[in-house]
Amino acid sequence: MTFVEMGLAEPVLRAVTAEGYINPTPIQAAAIPAAMSGRDLLGCAQTGTGKTAAFALPILHRLYGGGASSGESGKKSRGFRRIRCLILSPTRELAIQIGESLRVYGAQTGVRHTVIVGGVGQSPQVHALQKGIDILVATPGRLEDLRQQGYIDLRAVEIFVLDEADRMLDMGFLPSIRKIVKMLPDQKQTLFFSATMPGEIAELADGILHNPERIRIAPVKQTTELVTHSVYHVSRPQKSRLLATLLKNQPIARAIVFCRTKHGADRLANQLEKYSITTAALHGDKSQTARQKALAQFKSSSPPVLVATDVAARGIDVDSVSHVFNFDLPNETETYVHRIGRTGRAGATGLAISFCDDGERGLLKQIERHIKQTIPVETIGELIDPPPRTDPPAGSADTAEGDQRTPREGQVAGESEQPRGQRPPRDRGPRGDQRGQRGDRNNSGNNRFERRPNERNPRQASFGQVGQRQDRRRQDPQAPTDDRPRKEPRYVSSRGRE
C-alpha cells in the first residue's frame, strides 16, 4: 500500500510527496489506516521506524476535515481555536522533533500547532496558546505548569497521543500522565506508542484504551544485528585518553558518546577539548536554547561528536551516526539497546564501542545475556599522548617548590629550613610569670593556657583579671563587673528621639 492508496487528505498527501516518500514503513502501513478510522491504537515499535509520521499524518488528515468529529475542518470556530489534539512527549528534543514533523506535513492544511517544553521562557508559548491552536505538543512538566496558571483548557481534546510511554515510566512521569488523562474528555481517540511493554506500561494502556487496534512491528533485522559491537577493558583514568585516540584515528561521520551522569558528560567534553577534539554536551541541566544549539551543530557535523546522557539523547533523530561510544556502561540492559539504536537506523550499519572498567564487568555480562551474544574484546594499542599540563604561574598557591614559599617571620628568604630536631627552642618567656597572673582565680597554677591582654585593645582583659572581677562579684553582688564607670541608661521614644 502506498500513501496515495491510504486516502490521505490532499494537502497532507502533497506534503508527503514533496518530502520524497512513496511507500510507508511497516508501522506506518499498519497504524495510519487504523488511526484514520478513529479507533484507539496500541503500537509497539522501535525508535527510528517512522513512528512519528504514523500518528502525525492521520491526525492532520482528521483535523483538516477528512474525519474530524467537530466539523471545524481546520478553520477557526467563533474566532478562536480550542485544543483538539494533545501529544505528550517525555523529552524536549522529541517534542521539538514532533513539532517539526507537524510543520512539514501540515504546511498546507491550515492546522495550527505549538510546542511547549521546559527550559525556556513561557511567554512565547503563552502567546501561541492565546492565539488559538489545534494541536498541542508538550512535555508533562510544562503542560502542568501552564494548565495550573489557566492558559490551557483540555476539555475539547478529540485525539490524545502518548509517545514513548516506556520512557515516561523511566523518567517518573506516570503519576502526571494519569492526572492529565483524568482531565481529558471521555469521548476521545487515544494513540499509545511504546518501544517496550513492561508491566506498568501494559497496565496504563489497559486503563486508558478502549478496544484498541494492537500493532507490534518486528523489524526485519534487530538493531543489535545491524550494529558491530566491541568492548575495551580499560581502567577508568585511561578512558578519556582511549576515547580521544579512537576519535582521532577512526573515520567518524558522527559519534554520540554516552555518559551516566550530567557532571560526567561536562567533564568528558572538557577533557576532549584538551585533546583538540571539538564536542557538544547535551544533558538535562542545559538550557533549552543551549540544547537546541548543540543538536543543530551536531546535525551539521560541526562538531561531529556529541557527549550526552541517556535522557537527553532519547528522541534524537539524526542520520548517519556512524559510532556510538558507551563511555560508561548503563545500569540497565534496555538502556544499552536504546543507546546503540542511535546508529544502525533504517537498515544502515554502525559501530557500538563500549569501555568497561573493573567495576563494570557485571554490567557487561548482563548486556551480553540480553542481546544474546558475546561482545568481542578489542586490544588497546598505542594511545596518544595526554594533553600537556599547564604549569601554575610563579608565586601561585599551586607552586610546590620550597624556595618559592613565603618565608616565616624571622627567616631569611631563600634560607633553607633546618630539620625539626635541630631547630633552636623558641623564646616563650618565663612560665612562672604567666602563672602568677592568674592570682586568686587559680591558686594551684596548673592551667597551661594564658590569654594575654590584646595590645590593640587595652580593654580586653586577661584570664587573671577576669578572675579577680569574679571574686569581687562574689563578695559584693552589687559591684560592677568591670572597672569602667557605668553610664546612665538612655531611653528612646517611639519616634526615635531621646
Q: Is the pLDDT of residue 234 over 70?
A: yes
- What is the pLDDT, as a whole number, of residue 425? 57
Answer yes or no: is pLDDT of 83 > 90: yes
**Would you say how long the chain is, in residues?**
498
Contact criterion met (CB below 8 Å) for 203 and 192:
no
What does the pLDDT average to over 288-310? 82
Work out the percent of the chain whose per-residue pLDDT is above 90. 46
- At residue 310, the pLDDT reads 80
Average pLDDT along the chain: 79
Phi and psi of 328, rounded to 5°? -115, 130
Highest averaged pLDDT of the listed ranges 157-161, 383-387, 397-401: 157-161
Average pLDDT over residues 344-363: 85
Q: Mind listing the domains of the chain with CATH numbers?
A: 10-216 (3.40.50.300), 223-378 (3.40.50.300)
Residue 314 has which C-alpha cell? 532519547
pLDDT digits (tens, 9 = 90+) for 171-224: 788 999 999 999 999 999 999 999 878 888 999 999 999 999 999 876 544 555
The 10s digit of each residue's pLDDT in 364-376 is 999 999 888 999 9
Share of the chain above pLDDT 70, in %: 70
Question: Please, which residues bridge with residue 355 across strands?
Answer: 232
Cis peptide before 303 (omega within 30 of 0): yes
Q: Kindly state the average pLDDT of the residues 460-486.
A: 55
